[in-house]
Structure 1
Amino acid sequence: MVKVFALALVSIATAISAVAAKDVPGQFKRLGACPTLGCVFPPDNAEFLAGAHFDVRVEVHAEDSDKPNPKYSLSIEKLKGSGHKNTNGNKAVDFSKFTKVKANAQETWDFNYYKDAAAYWKAQDGDKTSATPVHVASSAWRGVQLREPGTYKVTLKYNNGKKTEAIWTVNPVSKRKAKNVILFIGDGMTTPMIAAARLISKSHTSGKYTKKMHMDQFPVIGHVMTHSLDSLITDSANSASAYNTGHKSSAGALGVYPDSSATPFDDPKQELLAELLRRRSKKAGGRGGVGIVTTAEVQDATPAAVFAHTRNRDEKATIVDQMIRGENPVVADVILGGGGKYFHSKTGGKSLNGTDYYQTYSKERGYKVIHDKDALLKYKGSDPLLGIFHQGNMDVWLDRNVYKDNIKKTGSDPTGTGQPALNQPNLDQMVIKGMEVLEKRHHNSGWFLMAEAASVDKMMHPLDYDRALADLLELDSTVGKTREWLKKRKLDKDTLILVTADHGHSFDVYGSVDTQYFNSFSESEELEKKNSIGTYENSGWPSYEDADGDGFPDKWDVRYTLASGTAAFPSHREDFQINIGGARVPAVAKSVSHHHYKVHEPNSTEVGILKPGTLGVTESVGVHSLQDVPVFAAGPGSQLFSGVQDNTEIFHKIAEVLGLGN
């Protein structure tokens, strides 16, 4: 029996190998995951949860003056040896007949793309002839389900004999292992950042730490590969979507495979983890709760990946509407964070059609709406909770708790009064309140909570490492308080906790800096300033201390700081010291340039040694990196997350732990 099964697996693997095509090298493409003129979405090597809903789209392309043949067909077959036998006898059949889903009426449209960097940059400088026109014929199947686990081959036949094949794998549904799952995301967080945060916050003797971070104490650790569908480097939208769908996507996309059509809302969708949890059968435990907590705008990429479907993450006004009015909307039990300007049309407001969404959420879905820390802490009810505490992204931990004058900026109040938001909660307060509400509403059926420390990433971009590390420490402190809260209520045995990141930045520490010596030289004495950097035995130890034991340095403006940086940055000046007056602005647009696009140069208001940029001149801040990111796990099912895994596997493992599917 084992031998027969093994042979079956070999035959499937051989079939997959025969179909699979390598990703095509190059920086520019006609359409992600579509190297030929025939496109199938979901593409080759896609993985599904049995019973999950998804859309399918095919596109047939023709370039320049050619036209696509509108006569094409899509078929599907289940490969032999991959599980239960289907009624079609494992033969390829028409896709609509097999799935019992009829395709929408055929559509046609045109779009342009750039074949390479030369064509793209010519266009940026005003050349209107460098783009290649593409003509498209397309069909879409909406709300498809594959309930039988196994391996399927999908074939698009087009343009008189050409074909595109895709292998899809459908995973079985598992028995539920946990009642609740908490997914902490330190946006942009990497292992070197955690090491730096540990160094500045934990005491050590003879080179050994006397206390570790809360993340360090998790029993299981793994690594996550973060590539996107069509690029080695990911952004937060499609990487967070991988965690919420089990599918890779392209930059800027949330819960969809980006097609080439003009509208950002008709792209083929994938059912989200929260959507699956909302429709979970009574047999599997019933409809589960959903919570979203973030220090960013609640419409930003990572939180929006929990509930939104769009190719363009910047469609934030519509994303607010999708939460409560979209197709099968998630309607989360808890939504806490920033982004007030997309809920109203008052001062600074950008809401969809000028709608007052605070009122809409309250009237249509029964939300209790709050706007400051006091109201958050006082709330003891069981109604769904919407807490929006800032007009945009919430201020970072350092400015909320240490350099408080920096938040006295007009216009940050989330209700559009034009006043500053001076009473914002911390991440731990939002997470604990979120768990309280979820427990009241879904104690029996269980719940899923996504909590994001967003400004680890948002401060790494402008190279403001102190603020980024402070927000990482806030995440770690929140993790510790969360575990205490769960244990006190005897929920720890029923709750899987994951701490991970959606992508990384190329940050690392290579020594220390004597800022007193650094500052003793003039700006022209760069050689002498560089000599303040100590490496190896001369790196010594930085000056940070945490005497009060709250998990944060007592003082951030110290003499001996970290010599740190990233591999990807614009030209800027570096002094290795905290920016007390607010977040860094490393580069600014050049006032005069012969190019049609913006060229950036070092910000003249910053001081320090000149660091010539490693990025193109259009970039004003740092960018993401290739690094694998860590995943820490504790609780039922935690052992699934050890080892090296793709970001899509995080979804499938969470779904397995929660018993989702079908």
Structure 2
Amino acid sequence: MVKVFSFALVTIATAIAAVSAAPDPVGQFKRLGACPDLGCVFPPDRSEFLAGSFFDVRVEVHAENDVKPNTKYSLTIQKISKSHNARDNTHGNKPKVVDFSKFSKVKPSAQESWDFSYFKDAAAYWKAQDGDKTASTPVHVASTAWRKVAIKEPGTYKVTLKYNNGKKAEATWVVNPVSKRKAKNVILFIGDGMSTAMITAARLISKPHTSGKYTKHMHMDQFPVLGHVMTQSLDSLITDSANSASAYNTGHKSSSGALGVYPDSSPNPFDDPKQELIAELLRRRSKKAGGRGGVGIVTTAEVQDATPAAVYSHTRIRDEKATIVDQMIHGSNPVVADVILGGGGKFFHSKTGGKSLNGTDYYASYAKERGYKVVNDKTSLLNYKGKDPLLGIFHSSNMDVWLDRNVYKNNLAKTASDPTGTGKPALDQPNLDQMVLKGLEVLDKRSRKEGWFLMAEAASVDKMMHPLDYDRALADLLELDNTIGKTKEWLKKHGLDKDTLILVTADHAHSFDVYGSVDTQYFNSFSESEELEKKNSIGTYESSGWPSYVDADGDGFPDKWDVRYTLAAGTAGFPTHREDFQVSINGSNVPAMIKSSSHHHYKEYVVQEGAKGILKASTMSVSESVGVHSLQDVPIFASGPGSNLFAGVQDNTEIFHKIAEVLGLGDRE
């Protein structure tokens, strides 16, 4: 069935040629993502849809400064080719242009108006940051929306917004056909921030080798299919986890911070045009297509964080975490997942440190209104043997990382991290593999016949790369790999291995790489002022000897992390900091701190007080306190039915469409 997807790609290419799509505008600042002119259509040009899936449409007409927008505009749609023959435009007949409301059979909203402002360039932005209130450009908007639109007939469509007495904004949409289901279940493992270079480093510190050859490999190394995923955003080179994870769950690119929507310019972060999620499609799947599917969400972050929230949430602002908790069970057409495991307890209650929406006790709401079994520690999780939906929240915020949960355990007692608001530390947190296996157990009990979708995230690969804590990031990557191995064993034991597609990928990368090895004993023999001598401890090329990490007990992790010979590694984007190439035993690394005094109105970050090692001057704005994401493609490993679809280089939006093809989602003609 690979041809089904390739037809869509051919159709896109032909459609682009037909309407002469304009290239993305250059520059760092823009009025609104995916809106290059004063007329905006969302979904924008080159959007793809699954036949029968729901999506919202919004048009905006802009006017800048003292000009008011013309409120007389129209939206039309025409089909310009069929799905299986990109050159067939209805047998040579001129395609019919239809009013969009008539075509969609959806009544548009009443026309809305509002104002917003933006910065035309970096000069304007930084003037505003320093207090210049005249640096931004005001914009006045007229807008109309169509909610819950669906196009069941595959093909290529041209949508045209006519505004301002003759101007046009055009968008080409492609509706992909539905194919026969190939797998009952899909597991999507996401190593947040994981790059190929990080996998290479994790392999190096955890696997035995002789004569330069590994004698064991990582579990993801053994997957039969390997591809690459392009991660760039709708309107920027570098993506964040919200819109990149949303691409996997919707098949649409978005802007930074957005979950399951195209960001519009309205003041309401919850009225932006939505796209239907994989989980929502599974929930409304007809009996003919297999019945209502199960949904599982597992993460070592807050369950309201960007990547897990992308499975069930719609909002322009990922930090609306209190409302995101509410959306799971109270949203319009809520997902109500069968399994939700991770951190983020402070958004479920209003006790010590609590930040729940309107002070609501969401532990009680989830239990009473939706029948969830609620657990708050590892012991209760592992003891649960029931069939009810499972909510497990094990930390007030992001769960502690593997290295602190399993090696430097004293660090757990330093914060009031209990998820129920007692003010005590959370000392009994599960590992990722324990959460995933319990999640699979519950999904199997609840949805074996109908099938299910599980997203499992190793979140702190990314969260530890940001503060340049490479040891903790690599440890969480190894935890992910260990979980993958145990998951494959569990599936085989329960007879689900031949019915389950397993994917392992990242939502984005960091610019991490290894360039040598370090003799930390020699490094530490010099004072902080002897930087030249410290740098001589770094071996490159023929002097880049093997590090000292050993996994004698075979558990997939180094037995000791505080070793003499370590990796010389780093990233391209970082704040001013000091690097000593050694594990931070007393907690996560803190690379920079706020400068105590500055003539600027914005925050400036300087090297952390008391830090030791080689001084590395910032490679980006001084307002950045940690390292940042990078542009590089991320790997995707695939195993199981439909895995062949994921080979080669692909856009991140294609992952959704391929998963949808494997699960047979959408409506047939």
Q: What letter matches 1:500 in structure 2?
A: T
For residue 594 of structure 1, what is the aligned residue in structure 2?
Answer: 599
For residue 582 of structure 1, what is the aligned residue in structure 2?
Answer: 587
Equivalent-residue separation in structure 1 for 2:578 and 2:389 (angstroms): 47
CA offsets 1:83-127 (integer angstroms, 9 cap, x no match): 698899731110000110111000000000000000000000000
Partners of 2:338 and 2:389 within 8 A in 1: yes
Partners of 1:462 and 1:584 within 8 A in 2: yes
Structure 1 unmatched ranges of 5 or more: none
Q: Among residues 397, 400, 405, which one is paired with 1:392 in the alignment?
A: 397
For residue 276 of structure 2, what is the aligned residue in structure 1?
Answer: 271
For residue 153 of structure 2, what is the aligned residue in structure 1?
Answer: 148
For residue 28 of structure 1, what is the aligned residue in structure 2?
Answer: 29
Say whether 1:507 aligns with 2:512: yes
Equivalent-residue separation in structure 2 for 1:86 and 1:312 (angstroms): 42
Q: What letter matches 1:444 in structure 2?
A: K
Equivalent-residue separation in structure 2 for 1:167 and 1:473 (angstroms): 42
For residue 518 of structure 1, what is the aligned residue in structure 2?
Answer: 523
**Secondary structure of the equivalent of 1:129?**
coil
CA offsets 1:11-43 (integer angstroms, 9 cap, x no match): 971664533110000000000000100000000
Say whether 1:220 aligns with 2:221: no
Map of 1:373-388 to 2, 5 A cutoff? Answer: 373-388=378-393
TM-score (structure 2 length as normaliser): 0.97
Q: What letter matches 2:53 in structure 1?
A: A
Equivalent-residue separation in structure 2 for 1:377 and 1:89 (angstroms): 63
Equivalent-residue separation in structure 2 for 1:15 and 1:246 (angstroms): 18
Q: How far off is 1:58 after superposition?
A: 0.1
Map of 1:272-291 to 2, 5 A cutoff? Answer: 272-291=277-296
For residue 59 of structure 2, what is the aligned residue in structure 1?
Answer: 58
Structure 2 unmatched ranges of 5 or more: none
Q: Among residues 570, 576, 586, which one is paired with 2:575 in the alignment?
A: 570
Q: What letter matches 1:149 in structure 2?
A: P
**Secondary structure of the equivalent of 1:588?**
strand
Q: What letter matches 1:467 in structure 2?
A: R
Partners of 1:47 and 1:171 within 8 A in 2: yes
Q: How far off is 1:308 after superposition?
A: 0.1
| Count of aligned pairs between the two proteins | 658
Q: Among residues 130, 135, 145, which one is paired with 1:125 in the alignment?
A: 130
* Counterparts in 2 of 1:197 and 1:568: CA distance versus 1, 3 Å: same
CA offsets 1:200-245 (integer angstroms, 9 cap, x no match): 0000000000000000000000000001100010000000000000
Equivalent-residue separation in structure 1 for 2:329 and 2:242 (angstroms): 20
Q: How far off is 1:633 after superposition?
A: 0.3
For residue 48 of structure 1, what is the aligned residue in structure 2?
Answer: 49
For residue 102 of structure 2, what is the aligned residue in structure 1?
Answer: 97
What's the C-alpha RMSD, in Å, of the aligned pairs?
1.7
CA offsets 1:502-541 (integer angstroms, 9 cap, x no match): 0000000000000000000000000000000000110110
For residue 192 of structure 1, what is the aligned residue in structure 2?
Answer: 197
Q: How far off is 1:82 after superposition?
A: 4.6
For residue 423 of structure 2, what is the aligned residue in structure 1?
Answer: 418
* Counterparts in 2 of 1:12 and 1:619: CA distance versus 1, 3 Å: closer
Q: Among residues 316, 322, 328, which one is paired with 1:311 in the alignment?
A: 316
CA offsets 1:416-467 (integer angstroms, 9 cap, x no match): 0000000000000000000000000001000000000000000000000000
For residue 559 of structure 2, what is the aligned residue in structure 1?
Answer: 554
Q: Among residues 621, 630, 633, which one is paired with 2:635 in the alignment?
A: 630
Equivalent-residue separation in structure 1 for 2:12 and 2:461 (angstroms): 46
Q: What letter matches 2:477 in structure 1?
A: L
**Secondary structure of the equivalent of 1:421?**
coil
Equivalent-residue separation in structure 2 for 1:367 and 1:85 (angstroms): 51
**Secondary structure of the equivalent of 1:481?**
helix
Q: What letter matches 2:339 in structure 1?
A: V
For residue 343 of structure 1, what is the aligned residue in structure 2?
Answer: 348
Q: Identity across aligned pairs (percent)? A: 79
Equivalent-residue separation in structure 2 for 1:252 and 1:538 (angstroms): 43
For residue 639 of structure 1, what is the aligned residue in structure 2?
Answer: 644
Q: How far off is 1:318 after superposition?
A: 0.1
Say whether 1:365 aligns with 2:370: yes
**Secondary structure of the equivalent of 2:140?**
strand
Q: What letter matches 1:405 in structure 2?
A: N
* Counterparts in 2 of 1:10 and 1:514: CA distance versus 1, 3 Å: closer
TM-score (structure 1 length as normaliser): 0.98
**Secondary structure of the equivalent of 1:408?**
helix
Q: What letter matches 1:516 in structure 2?
A: Q
* Counterparts in 2 of 1:80 and 1:538: CA distance versus 1, 3 Å: closer
Q: How far off is 1:409 after superposition?
A: 2.3
For residue 72 of structure 2, what is the aligned residue in structure 1?
Answer: 71
For residue 480 of structure 2, what is the aligned residue in structure 1?
Answer: 475
For residue 486 of structure 1, what is the aligned residue in structure 2?
Answer: 491
Say whether 1:405 aligns with 2:406: no
**Secondary structure of the equivalent of 1:196?**
helix
Partners of 2:11 and 2:83 within 8 A in 1: no
Partners of 2:83 and 2:177 within 8 A in 1: no
Partners of 1:409 and 1:419 within 8 A in 2: no
* Counterparts in 2 of 1:412 and 1:240: CA distance versus 1, 3 Å: same
Equivalent-residue separation in structure 2 for 1:80 and 1:191 (angstroms): 39
Q: What letter matches 1:285 in structure 2?
A: G
**Secondary structure of the equivalent of 1:79?**
strand
Q: What letter matches 1:248 in structure 2?
A: K
**Secondary structure of the equivalent of 2:509?**
coil
